[in-house]
Amino acid sequence: MKPPPDDPGVETAIRDDVLHIVLNRPERRNSLDASAVRTIVGALEDASTNETLRAILIVGRGDDFCAGADWVASNEPGEERPRTGSLQRRTALQAHRIVELLVSIQLPVVCAVQGWAAGLGCQIALACDFAIAGESSRFWEPFLARGFTPDSGATWLLPRLIGIARARQLLMLGRELSGSEAASCGLIHRAVPDADVDEAATNLVGELAAAATVAMGLTKQCINRSLECGLTEAMENESFALELSSRTRDFKEGLLAFREHRPAHFRGR
């Protein structure tokens, strides 16, 4: 698989069976315009059917992870206003599509957050399976402070991660959280000293890429579906996942490694 052609604001590359997505507009705090969003969506869609990939890593270049959608670029003076309903039509295929793919793709996704993760940038971090952030990084939902309502899954992600009361604080009162605070309340996986973010994220994605990829993806799917169903349906989903994962080569390797009292060497198959 070849990644889609890079937008100048986003770089993609595959190294050691890991898809690397680099947000590359440091001069604009890595905010995402429509072209950058299309590049990310294309990379994730291709990754979902790439049989060689085993994990995804998302990082931002420079001092910040992502300041969200580039509203300045999409509202330049002199630009003709789009038809009514343009936002509603476009977001489902753009910002919302990124979040849907991050949640549904059957690969583990890690992001490394430094500086600001705001708006869409915050949602991208929260939709990843594991977000590692610098202790001084800032998570912020700026929507109401700008006079409009949340998007990109904010009202779905936040209540599930930290509960309704804290979600109200972030979404309705615009409270900011440092990386340390985000980790302590369960919003993200882990906070580390700012200088250690890249190393910690690289180590974690390496650990995930070495795991049993099919079982990892099915487990992720079961966790997400369990939030929307009862116990009986959750266990039915588990039984289907077990049927599939027990037919993989990695399952056989796991059993053999157990019998031989050695670490398993999974191949993602």
pLDDT by 10-residue block (mean), the chain, 269 residues: 61 96 95 93 96 97 93 56 54 77 97 97 97 98 90 95 96 96 97 98 97 97 94 96 96 95 94
CB 153 within 8 A of CB 160: no
- pLDDT reported for residue 49: 94
- pLDDT reported for residue 117: 97
Distance CA 182, CA 195 (A): 18
Which amino acid is residue 218, in one-letter code?
Answer: L
Q: Which part of the chain has CATH 3.90.226.10?
A: 10-209
CA distances from 133 to 23, 130, 162, 168 (A): 16, 10, 17, 22
- pLDDT reported for residue 3: 44
Q: Which part of the chain has CATH 1.10.12?
A: 213-259
**Cβ-based neighbours of 214, under 8 Å, separated by 6 or more:** 106, 244, 245, 248, 250, 268, 269
The CATH code for residues 10-209 is 3.90.226.10
- pLDDT reported for residue 111: 98
Distance CA 4, CA 78 (A): 32
CA-based nearest residue to 172, from 139, 198, 145, 202: 145
- pLDDT reported for residue 53: 97
- pLDDT reported for residue 6: 53
The CATH code for residues 213-259 is 1.10.12
